[in-house]
Amino acid sequence: MSFLAKVWRLLVGIKDALVLATMLLFFALLYSLLSSTPNAAAIEDGALYVELDGTIAEQPERASPQDILFNSTSPLREHRLRDVVHVIETAATDTRIKAVALDLDGFVGGGQVSLQRVGAALDKVRKSGKPVIAYATGYSDDSYLLAAHASEIWLDPMGLTFIAGPGGSRPYFKGLIDKLGVTVRVYRVGKFKSFVEPYTRADQSPEAKQADQALVDSLFSAWMANVKAARPKAQLATYVQNPLGTIANQSSAQVALRSGMVDKLGDRIAWANRIAAIAGRDSSDPVDAFKGTDYADYLAAHPVPAGSDIGVVTVAGEIVDGEAPAGTSGGDTISRIILDAVAQKNLKALVVRVDSPGGSAIASEKIRQSLLVAKKTDLPVIVSMANVAASGGYWIASAGDRIFAEPATITGSIGVFGIVPTFEKTLAKWGVTADGVATTPLSGQPDVLRGTNAVADQLIQSGVNEIYRRFTGLVSQQRRIPLARVEEIAQGRVWDGGSARQIGLVDSFGSLDDAIAEAAKRAKLDPKSVRPVYLDRMPNWFELYAERLKGSNEESRLPRDAYSQLVQRQQINLASAMIEASSIAKGPAVQVRCLSCPATPKIRADQGLMERLIAKLR
């Protein structure tokens, strides 16, 4: 009995210790949450400090409790596009704000359409008579697209401006697959449906290269036009073709200055002094400080106004079956949001904001069907395309009464593919064979141990063909385009927004605001008075806390020197491609998805390249 009593006391002690540890963890998280929450009362006269560390996204991913509790580092911070635009445009008319300090030193990027929208907001600040002063150690395409809309562009004397244009390499896995002995069975429709090529080829096919070249040329033309209009004094075309300049013994920063790409060379202290000359500085502040308000505090004091009449549902990221958190479009999740909103009968119109390269055909159709339910109740359904609305994203968009896009939107990719890997050659290398019995031609099919048979191949290919016929058929019906014409412009080809408008895949150029105005007109409302209600699931307190911590860890940020940033951005692009390839392999056997569509990086910035690759290949 004495022994049992001791064991009992030990168990009670362990229980008490666990309870105490849990309570300490809870109060530590609560304290951290309260201390890191934006302060809506902390608005003071001076500058608005907008530090865009990380990326700009249509719908940021929510950090999970596992990220906070079990990961020592934070993922890249994602800034919601509409929040960034709202903060900047509000500051334009706020008499307390004397200038906007735009810190792009840790900015990784965002879609071209999104960045042009932020640039338009910065233009409003300048038109109000307030300066926008940008700073970075180094500018790449995305960060310079924003900086071009500033009144002054500051560059660190040890930095550089690196304009590469869209394009580059992507990994092809055919050689690795052959070495491993894996047989990749591909079922596809559409000669431009290049998504499966990384698994079947060691290089890009002529058809895919032709389509991709046309796409990147169009996107870069739109980029050049936007930057040139925002900064006409820059010798842009000359600098892009010869960033080294013509005078020897000049630094990269000096070449950028002489070419009119930047206005001032100076470090962060000099930049802060320039802003302090406009916004002021308290006598007790350090030399790199100035009076003003942080972006997060300003957003807390000026949240995006809530609306009621026009509902906006966001389809962002990969389209997947079932439920999914923000930043990924779960077919069940998005469909439920739409059906619930329709059932409440409060909305007068619905706007669908699409920023997705596609994914599951089943999930895409489920979302489309929910939009058809909305249309049966006489709700106008207007589609607004963001950076990407391709393949499954276009499948959903086809249900709209009117489709808005931007010239730099990536859309189309009307095609279907399927991938089934089998491992008979891999097993044979290790002396492993497989055998068994069957009752029908489909017993055990698709057989990953011995390979698929002709009946299974025909069945899967016929399924891919059927989905393609359904895809082209619904495009023909919804867009009122003859099916033969749809067949010509489909084939899995990706189009820029300008070309898509010419061939009838979209109706008009316009932003999300234009789509909301169109929805208001169709609902017989005054476009100037309506305010949209965003039909997102509201985050809980833990998710809000996690969002505040994203990117707050210094270790999660990109290195500050421009050359290291340049290399690491390319490493992030490669790692993103590896993640994308992995998600394809793990996704549905049949998908409507676009390979040529860029994805916003969502990986940890502090992970080394090899660490990411090893993690994906395990």
- Distance of alpha carbon 43 from the chain centroid: 30
Distance from C-alpha of 613 to C-alpha of 618, rounded to nearest angstrom: 9
What tokens does 276 get?
């302090």
- pLDDT at residue 579, rounded to an integer: 61
Cα dist from 366 to 332, 336, 504, whole Å: 7, 10, 24
Residue located via tokens 């802060």: 272
Distance from C-alpha of 118 to C-alpha of 103, rounded to nearest angstrom: 14
Which residue type is seen at 45? D
Quick count: other Cβ atoms within 10 Å of Cβ 286? 9
DSSP secondary structure, 63-106, as one string = PPHHHHHH-SS-PPPEEEHHHHHHHHHHHHT-TTEEEEEEE-TT
Distance from C-alpha of 219 to C-alpha of 166, rounded to nearest angstrom: 7
- pLDDT at residue 606, rounded to an integer: 44
What residue ranges in 191-277 does DSSP mark as E strands?
A: 264-265
What DSSP character marks residue 537? P
Residue 558: CA count within 13 A, CB half-sphere = 30
Domain residue spans of the chain: 36-163+243-301
What tokens does 617 get?
């290949």
Beta strand 183-189 with 532-534 is unpaired
- Distance of alpha carbon 340 from the chain centroid: 26
* Average pLDDT, consecutive stretches of 10 residues, N- to C-terminus, the chain (618 residues): 64 72 62 54 87 93 59 71 96 96 93 96 97 96 97 95 88 87 84 73 86 91 96 95 77 93 96 96 90 94 88 95 91 96 94 95 96 96 97 96 97 89 87 90 88 91 92 95 94 92 96 96 93 76 52 50 58 59 65 70 47 45
Nearest CA among 510, 508, 479 for reference residue 414: 479
Nearest CA among 131, 133, 84, 79 for reference residue 109: 79
Q: Let me know if 391 is a catalytic residue.
A: yes
Architecture of domain 36-163+243-301: Alpha-Beta Complex (3.90)
- pLDDT at residue 617, rounded to an integer: 44
The neighbouring-strand residues paired with 91 are: none
**Sign of the alpha-carbon torsion through 280, 282, 287, 290:** negative
Distance from C-alpha of 100 to C-alpha of 311, rounded to nearest angstrom: 31
What tokens does 200 get?
């079947």
Beta strand 508-509 with 78-80 is unpaired
Q: Considering the candidates 391, 398, 413, 499, report the single residue annotated as catalytic.
A: 391
- pLDDT at residue 419, rounded to an integer: 84
For the chain, the maximum distance between any two Cα atoms, rounded to a whole number of angstroms, is 92
Q: Considering the candidates 98, 124, 130, 193, report the single residue annotated as catalytic.
A: 193
Distance from C-alpha of 156 to C-alpha of 22, rounded to nearest angstrom: 47
Query: pLDDT (tens digit, 9 = 90+) per residue, 335-371?
Result: 999 999 999 989 999 999 999 999 999 999 999 999 9
Q: Let me know if 364 is a catalytic residue.
A: no
- pLDDT at residue 592, rounded to an integer: 79
What DSSP character marks residue 247? S
Residue located via tokens 């092809």: 172
- pLDDT at residue 516, rounded to an integer: 97
Nearest CA among 291, 305, 356 for reference residue 83: 305
Q: Burial code of 231-270, b = ≥16 C-beta within 10 A, e = fewer?
A: beebebeebbeebebeeeeeebbbbbbebbbbbebbbbeb
